[in-house]
Amino acid sequence: MTFISHRFVETAGGLKMHIAEAGAGPLVLLLHGFPESWYSWRHQLTALAEAGYHAVAPDQRGYGRTGGPEEVDQYSILHLTGDVISLVHALGEERAVVVGHDWGAPVAWHTAMLRPDVVRGVVGLSVPPFRRGPRASTTVLRELLGDSYYMLYFQQPDLPEAELARDIPTTFRRLLAGSAVLGADAPPLVPEGGGFLDLFRDPTALPDWLTEEDIAVFTAEFEPNGFTQPLHWYRNLDRNWELTAAWHAARITPPALLIVGEKDLVVSSPHARAGLAELADFVPGLREVRWLPDCGHWTQQERPKDVNEALVGFLDSLDG
């Protein structure tokens, strides 16, 4: 049986990152999304280890046992990608494959763009890579979707974290297992006078891929430090746009794979699907867009066997 072990690794920036790891061999970093932790990769850690890889899932900056600084500006995309590169080197490696889900996917895509010398290959789950736009992110979102769009709701201080921390088990039950109130093609707009969790129905029962024990683990990871630092990732949208000006129109060149669920709200709209068809120039090394039938947003937890098969196939295809 393959076991998952835990330890802390100090990065070059002085951040002590908690990592879960398994196996030995070429390094594969697994970057979780919002609001998650290393535990989101519990099925991949052992599968990748058994396939001959050193699988490492950190609690990223601001999350879980890693924690992080209080200042909002310490959660820019340059800090997040810097943590990834620093972790690769702290683990004694020069190169790695970087895999990210949800918010971890933009971190993985940006790491591949900024440091292709370090990234052997990149995999995004749920969230495809997006080109840098001509204007600040929140300006564009506000014009397109209005102030009630959930990412703009997250810009407010204090209110979103208080909502999410009010009843943490309920927060995870709704986010992971609740169905969308507004439907598959509707943008996630927070109702007037309501909160982010109002976008999701309370599930009458958990799906077969999620247990009460899983909910308890996620709850325990967030009880000590809450949601403020994870929300700071959203509060850097405009700062990220400013900081990445030097890479405007840059391409993502390492070998790449995108895995998405057919029922994932991130890619379910016709506009989003049309954007996927235009990735070839932006990501010239894209090998495949792997669609998972009957799969929602929590890709690697909902369909671990399919995700593991896709990851191992991609990893085995890479040159040293």
Q: Report how far residue 90's alpha carbon sits from residue 8's, in angstroms, rounded to the nearest whole number.
A: 11
* 3-state class (DSSP) for residue 65: coil
Quote the Cα angle for 56-108-310, to 5°. Answer: 70
- The pLDDT value recorded for residue 185 is 73
> What percent of the residues of the chain are helix, what percent strand, and what percent coil, each to the nearest 5?
40, 15, 40
User: Of 280, 278, 287, nearest to 257 (Cα)?
Assistant: 287
Which tokens in the block code for residue 20?
């879960």
Q: Which residue has the tokens 């746009």?
A: 241
End-to-end alpha-carbon separation of the chain, Å?
27
What pLDDT, on the 0 to 100 scale, is given for residue 197? 97
Residue whose pair of structure tokens reads 């995108």 in the numeric block: 258
Closest CA to 264 of 166, 126, 137, 138: 126
Label residues 73-93 b or e (16+ Cβ within 10 Å = b). ebbbbebbbbbbbbbbeeeeb
Distance in angstroms (rounded) separating the CA atoms of residues 168 and 66: 19
Q: What's the pLDDT score for residue 199?
A: 96
Buried b / exposed e along 162-178 (16+ C-beta atoms within 10 A): ebbeeebeebbbbbbbb
Distance CA 90, CA 265 (A): 36
- Predicted local confidence at residue 271, as pLDDT: 67
CB atoms within 10 A of CB 281: 9
Compute mean pLDDT per 10 residues along the chain, 320 residues long, and list them.
94 94 98 98 98 98 97 98 98 98 98 98 97 96 95 98 98 96 83 96 96 98 97 98 97 98 86 81 96 96 98 93
CB 64 within 8 A of CB 37: yes
Residue ranges of domains in the chain, CATH in brackets: 5-317 (3.40.50.1820)
Give the span between the Cα atoms of 56 and 19, in whole angstroms: 6
Position 273 scores a pLDDT of: 78
Q: What value does the CA radius of gyration of the chain take, rounded to a whole number of Å?
A: 18
Which residues are catalytically annotated? 102, 297
pLDDT of residue 236: 98
Q: Tell me what pLDDT residue 276 has.
A: 87
